[in-house]
Amino acid sequence: MKKKNRLPALAMAGPVSVWMILFVTIPMFFIIFISFMSRGIFGDVVYDPSMESYLTLLDSTYFNVISKSLKVAAFTTLACLGLGYPFAYYIAKRPKDQAAKYITLIMIPFWTNTLMRLNSWLLLFQTSGPVNNFLQNSGITDAPVRFVYTDELVALGMVTSMLPFAVLPMYSSIEKLNKSLLEASADLGADAKTTFQKITLPLTFPGIFSAIILVFIPSLGVYTVPDMLGGGKVLYIGNIIKNQFGMIRNWPLGAALSCLLIAITGLLIFLYTRFTSIEEMEVV
Amino acid sequence: MAMSQRAKKKKSLKLLADFYAILIYAIFYIPVVVMMVFSFNDQRNNYYWAGFTTKWYGELFNNHALTDSLWYSVVIAVLATLISVTIGTIGALGLKKFEFKGRRFVNQMLYIPIIVPEIVLAVAILVVFMTVGVRLGMGSILIGHCTFCIPYAVVTIKGRISGDDNSMEEASMDLGANRLQTFFRVTLPSIMPGVMSAAFLSFTLSIDDVVMSNMLAGAKQSTLPVLILSMSRSGVTPDANALTTLMILIIVIAMVLNNYVKSALKKRRKKEVNL
């Protein structure tokens, strides 16, 4: 029997495999490895195994940042689900060609630079910006309200920049929903509320879970939103990681925080794969 | 009577839904409009509205930090798109059509850059580069961008490949075409829509990226988003707003032209068929 020709497979799948191993697999293993090493006096990495970095994370300073980041990410996720689900439902109930237009209408603003869009919230809410001018001119407040560099403005920035990532997966799962099931439920005497609870919500759950993953995980690691809208005064996990590889130079600590994010991501993905396969996730 | 009341209720519910949708769209569009309006502001740091001017549209070309970083961003985005789409297209085909050891592993690896927070992947690559002694600069940013663009390209294109159906390719080879001819004449045209959307996605991801670029940038060259982030401490200047407004205009014009050309081509093809 003729030996199977391996060359086409190698030529086609080879480059992507090599790239992924070189720039994803190796770096990911290396960052996990570094997290178990120690920091030298000059900010270098000493290859001496220790759990020090992980213990440092339990210090109140870092622990507070971690719990605050988790809270903000959870708030962002809930807000995006709450705002996004009715909106996704609204679009999914349009005729198909109209729905496609509505989806494009969501995408267009995202061709504008993300940071410039975030900066707009700063322009609107700054001390002598339009919102404060309106509040004072209309007599609602006497003095300018301080919105900038607050957690609330950071939260606004997070929700507005993450919302499309919640809408799109929920839209596609609502759109796939079999209409005859809803009709059957109504025929059997269920009211709208019961139908929603017993049919719509469970069947669109994969979309909701995709939305949770696509919003919660990026929000947990983001540092651009707190940098832009928090003026660097509001610190989240992402900022702390970035600083450890910049000025402060504590690689093992930054690596340990990265591993925490990897662990949380892994846990969510594990839960997700209990319901559906990872290929089903609407990532694009 | 009861019917009309029900109809009334339905109508007001529909109005409420429309209003809600408009509200959500407003959240998406307000930042863009504010960004554009403040490009006409006569105040150096955009701290307050000081009157209308168009001067920033001229002055932005004298701000070399701004124009240089835009140039770097565009060059990196074009290169990242070309590399990612090439590797992504043949990779998607290879991963879909061939059974080989480690295929599952590569498929799983592809989801890491998509799902794990970008900062984690960025510092992981940074640490490897620093340890091996790779010099940071345009090259390292390009590698970083390709690392998250390739997975998106593969996933986008894989969705366009029709499962295990190789009948078209087999027909082509039976008729005497070699593998390369078959690839360019049969396989590639059939997945072209996927390839185009992968290219579009790669370009937009790359040109908008901050995190990877910020970690992997050298001291000398930075991309436009990295520059904007560093400007934010003292206030992003209106010339950056002007530049971004021009960029949106170019994108919108390109999209309109693209649609126009597409529909014109379609009409012509229809005519040819009718002849």
Count of CB pairs separated by less than 8 Å, A with B: 228
Whether B165 maps to a domain, the answer reads yes
Look at residue A3 and tell me whether its pLDDT is greater than 60: no
Window 136-165 of A: residues touching B by CB (8 A cutoff) are 160, 163-164
pLDDT band at residue A1 using 50, 70 and 90 as cut-offs: very low
Domain ranges of chain A: 63-280
Q: What is the pLDDT of residues B25-71, one digit of tens each?
A: 999 999 999 999 988 888 887 777 878 888 888 888 888 888 889 99
CB spacing of A27 vs B127 below 8 angstroms: yes
Among residues of chain B, what percentage have pLDDT more than 90? 28
Residues 6+ apart with CB under 8 A from A144: A127, A128, A132, A135, A136
Lowest mean pLDDT among A137-141, A151-155, A264-268, B245-249: A137-141
Residues of B in contact with A6 (CB under 8 A): 100
- The CATH number given to whatever domain includes residue B69 is 1.10.3720.10
Residue A27, chain B, CB below 8 Å: the answer is yes
Whether B153 maps to a domain, the answer reads yes
Question: Does residue B195 or residue A142 have the better pLDDT?
Answer: B195
Residue A232, chain B, CB below 8 Å: the answer is yes
* SS3 call for A102: helix
Whether B167 maps to a domain, the answer reads yes
Whether B36 maps to a domain, the answer reads no
Which residue in B91, B119, B152 is closest to A12 by CB distance? B91
Look at residue B3 and tell me whether its pLDDT is greater than 70: no
Whether B176 maps to a domain, the answer reads yes
Residues of A in contact with B121 (CB under 8 A): 24, 27-28
User: What's domain A63-280's architecture?
Assistant: Orthogonal Bundle (1.10)
Q: Dihedral through CA B53, CA B57, CA B62, CA B67, nearest 10?
A: 140
pLDDT at B79: 95
Cα angle for residues B231, B235, B237 (degrees, 5° grid): 80
Look at residue A76 and tell me whether its pLDDT is greater than 70: yes
Q: What is the pLDDT of residues A82-135, one digit of tens each?
A: 999 999 999 988 888 888 889 888 888 888 888 999 999 988 888 778 887 788
Look at residue B21 and tell me whether its pLDDT is greater than 60: yes
Question: Does residue A230 or residue A212 have the better pLDDT?
Answer: A212
Lowest mean pLDDT among A154-163, B78-87, B143-152, B160-169: B160-169
Closest CA to B161 of B189, B185, B180: B189
Whether B141 maps to a domain, the answer reads yes
Look at residue A183 and tell me whether its pLDDT is greater than 80: no
Which residue in B94, B114, B120 is closest to A13 by CB distance? B94
Question: Does residue B142 or residue B160 have the better pLDDT?
Answer: B142
Structural domains counted in chain B: 1
* SS3 call for A39: strand
Two tokens, residue A244: 């450890």
Look at residue B205 and tell me whether its pLDDT is greater than 60: yes
Look at residue B93 and tell me whether its pLDDT is greater than 80: yes
Section B64-80 average pLDDT: 91
Over chain B, what is the mean pLDDT?
85
pLDDT at A187: 78
How many helices (H) does chain A have, and how many strands (E)?
Answer: 15, 2
pLDDT at A185: 76
pLDDT band at residue A194 using 50, 70 and 90 as cut-offs: confident
Section A151-179 average pLDDT: 88
Which residue in B91, B215, B225 is closest to A16 by CB distance? B91
Q: Which structural domain, as residue segments, surrounds residue B120? A: 64-236
Among residues of chain A, what percentage have pLDDT more than 90? 23
The DSSP secondary structure of A196-257, one letter per residue, reads IIIIIHHHTHHHHHHHHHHHHHHHHH--HHHHHHSTTTS--HHHHHHHHTTTS--HHHHHHH
In this prediction the pTM is 0.85
Residues of A in contact with B208 (CB under 8 A): 113-114
Whether B32 maps to a domain, the answer reads no
d(CA B125, nearest CA chain A) in Å: 5
CB spacing of A13 vs B35 below 8 angstroms: no
Look at residue B150 and tell me whether its pLDDT is greater than 50: yes
d(CA B270, nearest CA chain A) in Å: 22
pLDDT at B268: 76
ipTM: 0.85
Look at residue A2 and tell me whether its pLDDT is greater than 50: no
CB spacing of A222 vs B127 below 8 angstroms: no
Closest CA to A222 of B29, A214, B128, B237: A214
pLDDT at B96: 79
φ/ψ of A94, rounded to 5, equals -75, 160
Whether B33 maps to a domain, the answer reads no
